[in-house]
Structure 1
Amino acid sequence: MRVLGIETSCDETGVAVYDTVLRGAAALRAQALYSQIALHAEYGGVVPELASRDHVRKLVPLIRETLAQAGMTPADLDGVAYTAGPGLVGALLVGAGVARSLAWALEIPAIGVHHMEGHLLAPLIEDDPPAPPFVALLVSGGHTQLVAVEAIGSYRLLGETLDDAAGEAFDKTAKMMGLPYPGGPQLAALAEQGTPGAYRFSRPMTDRPGLDFSFSGLKTQVLLAWRDSDQSDATRADIARGFEDAVVETLAIKCARALDAAGSNTLVVAGGVGANRRLRERLTTMCAQRGGRACFPRPALCTDNGAMIAFAGALRLDAGQHDDASVRAVPRWDMATLSPLVPAR
């Protein structure tokens, strides 16, 4: 089954083709991504109306580009998957409308995919994918969650952030220190130049039981340290390193607890912050010491992309699941309400 995946939940337009006949990374026939970073940079954050309009301009040309890259025409498709939520409702409607129209015209099934399930399953696109059960860390600008994955489509929330997501804390901390938008990647790059241990910040909520996160207090600590410093380039780098170390260590401690709670030694990490080099190294070491492994998608599949939607949709379409002809856009959507992936009979 050859499935076209469409991602338009926020500020990136992603399209991909996934072929279930193939195996591993080779099954991803083609993908293309357009980022709206330059569009939103002057506002310091995503403007929903501008995001929706840009998806309208970019989506259809990107679909043509992706199909050409795959050596396919629309008639070669067997299904269409699109992000139905969560996300910005206007942006979601753009992708949903195009996907449903294409499926109707080609007389093929379509399915709305949960954005976070797409992220969670992205590491399974790669060669030698992990098999459930495992624990997933979903860590991005909008989410920080620990999820027990009993089977594909069967998810149990173990812990989540009580305030800022880890990626959001990266972005806000970077902005406080005068780094350009988007701040998270800028802060991580700056941390590479910082001196380890020059600044040490707390590891929030690790001094008590539980699997929830909180990064707002850490953000305040960094703000106070920055205000009281000489605000030189070297100090900015040292503070960035101290902040990143605190986030990485906090995530690692909570992941170890989650693995204990779930009785697993396999950790899947997905979401934009999953591309962070230091986080990857720390979690890989932690899992190896436990006799298990940490699994990541390639960095290009950590941020929002069409490949994860094509893959998640292909799994469900191949199992006989599909939606009716309505256009679905669900801005808020609990992943625990998803139906299990049951093979078609």
Structure 2
Amino acid sequence: MPERFLGIDTSNYRTSAAVYDASSGAWRNEGGLLSVPEGAIGLRQSDALFQHTVRLHEKIGSLPSGEVRAIGVSTRPRAVEGSYMPCFLAGESVARSAAHLLSVPLFAVSHQQGHIAAAALSAGRLDLLDGSLLAWHLSGGTSELLLVRQGEDGLPGCTCVGGTTDLAAGQFIDRTGALLGLPFPSGAALDKLALQARPEKGFAPKVADSRFSLSGMQNQVENRQKAAEPAQLARFALETVANAVVKASDQAVRRYGGPILCAGGVMASEVIRARMREAFGDAVYFAEPALSGDNAVGAAVLASRLYERMKT
């Protein structure tokens, strides 16, 4: 008998709805990037909210119909006080209405918690959520290394123990992409371009207590732009991020132990993944590219876990 759960996530750049079957582990995700004007490197929240409102019903309508046990929805970026973005209101409004009409439980989660759950599912290691682990959340707006332990509420409790002190990795990548005339968000295109380049060491940012700065790296990229081929510049940027991520991870593992779970759109980069595999081998886990970026699968997975917890 299927145990289906609906997940909804309306983040800053992607509208996403998903169905997850806890009995089989199968999932179906319907998502799409929001439209960003050519040459722009972001959206106003009002524009993102409008696009989510227009598109969310299409994503839900593309999912297979059938009974669901509960609904999970991302209502804020992170599970910390003051974390808020208007774009999440689009998903929360629809989720609350659907839960009321279907008479099923509604579980509110954070976008970050959904990322972690989706990565664990994709890696075939949902059991990681029952213990202690390190997790990277590298995306357009967030670059945090998290110590994750299950909280009293049954959700992943995330404590930031490292990451950037200024510019997020995704912002650095998108700004590099803009210099090269790549579409926004630039992660996938920049990674594809970088894989065409010769091996490149990149710059080694200073890392202390698993924390590092990327703001100065933008100047490094700009200074190299005229002399370097586009592919080589793309490789330089991604290897620079990889240098910082690997060193920060190593420092955290020495302090807290592993394993390491990698989530967020930036972690879809083959350049960064290769460096992490080289450094940590079987102790590092990744989400498949379809579940690396913003998605609702994680929200549905967490809804299934909270539903089972509620029944006991």
Give the TM-score of the pair, scaled to structure 2: 0.88
Displacement of 1:216 in angstroms is 0.6
| Residues 83-102 of structure 1 mapped to structure 2, 5 A cutoff | 83-86=74-77, 89-102=85-98
Quick one: which of 103, 110, 114 aligns to 1:114? 110
CA RMSD of superposed structures (Å): 2.0
1:63-97 alpha-carbon deviations (Å, 9 max, x no partner): 1211x2xxx33xx1111111100287332111111
In the superposition, relative to structure 1, how do residues 166 and 222 fare at CA in structure 2: closer, same or farther (>3 Å)? same
| Residues 139-288 of structure 1 mapped to structure 2, 5 A cutoff | 139-151=138-150, 153-197=156-200, 201-206=202-207, 209-226=208-225, 229-230=226-227, 235-264=229-258, 266-288=259-281
CA distance in 2, matches of 1:305, 1:235: 34
Aligned to 1:34: 32
CA distance in 2, matches of 1:158, 1:171: 24
SS at match of 2:86: helix
1:297-327 alpha-carbon deviations (Å, 9 max, x no partner): 110001101111111222223212xxxxxxx
- Identity among equivalent pairs (%): 28
Tell me if structure 2 keeps the 8 A contact 1:195–1:238. yes
In the superposition, relative to structure 1, how do residues 41 and 7 fare at CA in structure 2: closer, same or farther (>3 Å)? farther
Give the TM-score of the pair, scaled to structure 1: 0.80
Displacement of 1:128 in angstroms is 3.4
In the superposition, relative to structure 1, how do residues 160 and 210 fare at CA in structure 2: closer, same or farther (>3 Å)? same
Displacement of 1:20 in angstroms is 2.0
CA distance in 2, matches of 1:261, 1:83: 31
CA distance in 2, matches of 1:44, 1:160: 22
1:272-316 alpha-carbon deviations (Å, 9 max, x no partner): 01100011111112112xxx4211111000110111111122222
Q: Which runs of 5+ in 2 are unaligned?
A: 78-82
In the alignment, residue 280 of structure 1 is paired with which amino acid?
R
CA distance in 2, matches of 1:267, 1:203: 21
1:21-51 alpha-carbon deviations (Å, 9 max, x no partner): 224xx2x2x22112214x4435442232222
Greater gyration radius? 1
Tell me if structure 2 keeps the 8 A contact 1:84–1:96. yes
Report whether the alignment pairs 1:7 with 2:24.
no
Q: Which runs of 5+ in 1 are unaligned?
A: 321-343
In the superposition, relative to structure 1, how do residues 283 and 201 fare at CA in structure 2: closer, same or farther (>3 Å)? closer
CA distance in 2, matches of 1:175, 1:111: 38
Tell me if structure 2 keeps the 8 A contact 1:5–1:80. yes
